Structure 1
């Protein structure tokens, strides 16, 4: 069996997030001062987790967030961040750079609901989900190949590193109110072939999780509400999954959601850093 951890984090706040303006792919805003504080807080929250791989969208707000998270990590400060355009935010076409209210008005005029409405020049939800599916299959293939190559050699990140107590210290049990992690998803006893961090965007992440749930039948925390499942992650919201591939098969991954869109790490940052859930 191949098993890996997947931690997905939304980028920190930008000025456009605060002002409820759509960014999509065409607006490449940096993090605001609040966004940098949020990213640092997420980094502290994840500081004792040893990641073997880090991937980020190639847009500035995610690059800055990923760098801030690694900068706080005890083990991974020098780990290479790999940028992937498949992790970009949903493309909103003519609505990019305009207030979210404009998108809602366009959807209303078209007789559609806002989340599923595609403005001219934008991506459909199916197109976004296809990007997410392609990237997830890439991750699965990556981990299978690592396992097949015997990636448990001394000094190399892999299954053997799971036996070291401090290298896989997951914070979910103490900080996540949405779910109580099982023995598979917490603590240093978990044996993982890889432990992957991904930094991406709100609407993209919602579509990715939708793919996990509807297509791959992801197991969810028992007390997760439908509104929580369908909502956009707050800025620097953290989700964590354990993925199992029986006999290394990529066809039917077994996915367990340990924690979804949690933001408890922002409690001590200050009231002004309570994360926005705007696209």
Structure 2
């Protein structure tokens, strides 16, 4: 089987990111000024690779980030709500410092292997992986030796890459991510191989307050 090149980028900064508020599937925030600048630099970097499809979640911060890249191509952005961020339920929009203990309890449960543990009103890591993995693989299967650009979310990147790279969902905390960081994978013979993870040097010139 021929290989497929997959680039997975996290969206640019929003005010929720800047202010330390938990931002999941239930928050549809736009990019702030820094996030727009990050997205421009990301698009400039990714435009050196010729791709055949550009895909994002249905959330504004992701598709806004993707749109900067889309403008540099003749491709049409495809939005898919199965690639939306994890739903953090009752914790959405709350300062992470205010719910630090509760978050630690859930993350400790996940690290112990309880990947079906669900935040009240939200999703479990297992549920998120199942919906997003199926969606991502649908684009990969259509690519046929080409290049796919995915613009998604931080926790979702952790969930997908931890499984795809063989760490397991309980080790998703090992996956690092930054706004508009890039992960480059090769999909070949049914397996994902990392070329690089969380690349951010294209963001060095971004003016961050």
**TM-score class, shorter:** 0.7 to 0.9
User: TM-score, normalized by length of structure 2?
Assistant: 0.88
Cα displacement (A) at 1:134: 1.0
Q: Mind listing any 5+ residue stretches in structure 2 that lack a counterpart? A: 111-116
Query: In the superposition, relative to structure 1, how do residues 18 and 61 fare at CA in structure 2: closer, same or farther (>3 Å)?
Result: same
User: TM-score, normalized by length of structure 1?
Assistant: 0.67
Asked whether the 8 Å contact 2:23–2:92 carries over to 1, the reply is yes
**Aligned alpha-carbon RMSD (Å):** 2.2
Query: In the superposition, relative to structure 1, how do residues 59 and 228 fare at CA in structure 2: closer, same or farther (>3 Å)?
Result: closer
Q: Secondary structure at the match of 2:75?
A: coil
Q: Aligned ranges for residues 102-113 of structure 1 at < 5 Å?
A: 102-108=98-104, 111-113=105-107
**Cα distance in 1, alignment partners of residues 93 and 172 from structure 2:** 27
Q: Partner of 1:20 in structure 2?
A: 20
Larger Rg: 1
Asked whether the 8 Å contact 1:103–1:119 carries over to 2, the reply is no
Q: Secondary structure at the match of 1:239?
A: strand
Q: Secondary structure at the match of 1:113?
A: helix
Q: Mind listing any 5+ residue stretches in structure 1 that lack a counterpart? A: 148-192, 217-226, 246-252, 273-279
**Cα distance in 2, alignment partners of residues 123 and 242 from structure 1:** 28
Aligned residues: 201
- Work out which of the residue numbers 172, 181, 197 in structure 2 matches 1:237: 181
What are the superposed Cα offsets for residues 30-69 of structure 1, whole Å, 9 maximum, x if unpaired?
0000000000010111122111001100000011100012
Asked whether the 8 Å contact 2:158–2:172 carries over to 1, the reply is no
- Work out which of the residue numbers 85, 89, 94 in structure 1 matches 2:81: 85
Q: Partner of 1:135 in structure 2?
A: 135
What are the superposed Cα offsets for residues 149-196 of structure 1, whole Å, 9 maximum, x if unpaired?
xxxxxxxxxxxxxxxxxxxxxxxxxxxxxxxxxxxxxxxxxxxx2100
Q: Partner of 1:2 in structure 2?
A: 2
Query: In the superposition, relative to structure 1, how do residues 263 and 228 fare at CA in structure 2: closer, same or farther (>3 Å)?
Result: farther
Query: In the superposition, relative to structure 1, how do residues 231 and 2 fare at CA in structure 2: closer, same or farther (>3 Å)?
Result: closer
